[in-house]
Amino acid sequence: MVETPRTRTLRAVLTYAALVAFSVYCIFPFAWMVDTALKPTAEIMSKDPTFWISSPTLANFAAVLVDSPFLVYFSNSLIVATASTIVTLIVSIFAGYVLSSWGRLPLAQIVGGAMVISQTIPGVLLLVPLYTLMQKLGLLSTYSALILVYCTFMIPLVTFMLKGFFDGIPHELEEAAEIDGCSTLGYIWRILLPLSAPGILATCVFAFIAAWNEFMFGYVLMNDDTRRTLTPGIMIFKGTHQTDWGHLTAASVLAVVPVAIAFVYLQKFLVEGLTAGAVKG
């Protein structure tokens, strides 16, 4: 059926209208959070909330940065997320390589199946066992506890993501490298990783954001306030009977903006990496 110009125009208008509506729906919570963070307390507690700010102020941001341990929480999250990402990536690169190269072996299939099954288990079901384990290991309120837990949940998924990228690299390259005397580690370091760079970057960002945004385990496993990470740390602005919305939204904006800026900067590489892992050959 041949489309008329009028039909194509109508379809384009409807498509863009739907995309704009969906974009507004997704952006609205963040926009409202930024708007609230810039309002003085009187406007925040107004009975008639509005986007318009009569007296914009940075007092909420100043209070969060100066009068609260926000920077301590921020540095804790940065340490935990970075360490978790590095450990996850190192383990997943080798696991993904094995599953990609020897995926037909029974042992590799068993390991792959176990990883898939592990992704069906909600984290909340493992909260008590992991808490007990960390308590017996003496790791409560330490960076190691969160790093181990985050790696436990991220390694299976990151492994399969990397396996998809590795599957797209011709096996003949490895055979040629072996003929030239290159070891397996040499092939991974000199050939596999450079060719899979966009995909590895995509998995790095995924693992980092997952660790950065995690709340439940950070809230339960960290009892020492000096080791608390950012997402549970922001809860200090939420009291039992009252919530300091100005400081809470300001802290939330400061927690989101660095990751959002990095995501925008790396977006091109992320799309390239995810697309590369979506096809084989």
pTM (predicted TM-score): 0.83
Q: What is the pLDDT of residue 271?
A: 61
Closest CA to 159 of 207, 126, 194: 207
- Reading the block at residue 94, the tokens are 């080798």
In eight-state DSSP terms, residue 180 is T
Q: pLDDT tens digits for 63-121?
A: 999 988 999 999 999 999 999 999 999 999 999 999 888 878 888 888 888 888 888 88
210 vs 159: CA distance, rounded Å: 15
Q: What is the pLDDT of residue 123?
A: 85
CB 80 within 8 A of CB 229: yes
Q: pLDDT tens digits for 198-256?
A: 888 888 888 998 999 999 999 999 988 889 999 998 888 887 677 888 899 999 999 98
